[in-house]
Amino acid sequence: MAGFLGEKESLSRERVKEILINKQYSYLEQKVTLLGIEGDNFILKISFLIEYHQKMISIEEKDPIVIPFKDFRVEDWGDGVHKVADID
């Protein structure tokens, strides 16, 4: 039986994915953390925090992500106003 405020929605992994795809959240925080550098690879952790119907939902990588440094574009922005050059 539904209460006065209606039935409570139960969240599943699939439902959280739908919320992200359909942008049904009222707040989104995205965070990438550099855990370290091993050889030519960055070791990263990615996390998201969303607010959905006054609930805060945290989404985090289970395992760190390893990405080769060569996959990144590196640019020199000098004083931060204008791009100076690409860095090879």
13-71 confidence digits (pLDDT tens): 999 999 999 999 999 999 999 999 999 999 999 999 999 999 999 999 999 999 999 99
Report the pLDDT value the prediction gives residue 81, as an integer from 0 to 100: 76
User: What are the residues whose beta carbons fall under 8 Å from the beta carbon of 70, sequence distance 6 or more?
Assistant: 40
Distance CA 56, CA 48 (A): 10
Instruction: Specify the pTM.
Output: 0.72
